[in-house]
Amino acid sequence: MTETTFWELISTSKRQTTENKYEQTQFLTNYLSTQTEEEIFSFEEQFQKLYAKSYTSPLWCAAYVAMGGCSDDSFDYFRAWLIAQGKEVFENAMQNPDSLVPVFDTLRDEGRGDYPGFERMLGVPLDAYIKKYNFADRSEGMDAYYTKLDKFPRIPFPEIVFNWEEDDTESMKRICPDVFAKYWDDPF
């Protein structure tokens, strides 16, 4: 699976599922479970490349401001959510985290009490693998999946150098002034 094919699949999953983000993971899981094992692991690889690429200080700053704080785990879920938004949103955010303001606004306007995080997106390839091979015992499926996944090279995260500090609001304003102006006093 190429990166282009990956983004096309994400786009299709968003078009096919308008109710909520969990339907998006169901769509992706169902689709991938009908593909070859190679395609499932290739999806994982493409996802992990983008996941590592988005491990940046400016994005973490935007997530921190918008959510009123952002732990390591919350940033993981934020990046999974960001990928699930599609190529255009992802690439725009990589260039300028302030591009997320209208995306955040739409999320908030939907009124479902949602926030920009999507932990379940991280498990799509695993769920597809388990469904494909119809494992009755989830832990058995997990063991088989991770045994095979271990044979693939790991995508390393870049070393992150923070250019903002939690207790220095001016440093956050410099990184994402629009996100700060809109969400600092009223986070998700």
Task: Please indicate, yes or no, if residue 18 is contained in any of the structural domains.
Answer: yes
Looking at residue 110, its pLDDT comes to 75
32 part of a folded domain: yes
The answer to whether position 24 is within a domain reads yes
Q: Is 131 among the domain residues? A: yes
In a domain, 188, yes or no: no
Amino acid at 52: A
> pLDDT tens across 8-38, in order?
999 999 998 876 788 999 999 999 999 999 9
pLDDT at 146: 96
Task: Please give the Cα distance from 122 to 133 (Å, whole number).
Answer: 19
What's the confidence (pLDDT) of residue 170? 98
Does the pLDDT of residue 156 top 80, yes or no? yes
The more confidently predicted of residues 115 and 162 is: 162
Rounded to whole angstroms, the Cα distance separating 110 from 112 reads: 6
Domain tally, the chain: 1
Cα distance between residue 59 and residue 96, in whole Å: 9
Candidates 153, 67, 169, 168; CA nearest to 117 is 67
Domain that holds residue 168: 3-153+162-183
The residue whose two tokens read 């989830």 is: 138
**What's phi and psi for 137, nearest 5 deg?**
-110, 110
Residue 58 has pLDDT above 90, yes or no: yes
Region of residue 159 (phi > 0: left; psi between -120 and 50: alpha; otherwise: beta): beta
Question: What pTM was computed for the model?
Answer: 0.95
For residue 79, tell me if it sits in a domain: yes
Average pLDDT over residues 86-100: 98
Residue 28 domain flag: yes
pLDDT at residue 112, as a whole number: 63
Tell me the per-residue pLDDT of 107-153, one tens digit each, with 9 for 90 and over.
888 766 688 999 999 999 999 999 999 999 999 999 999 999 999 88
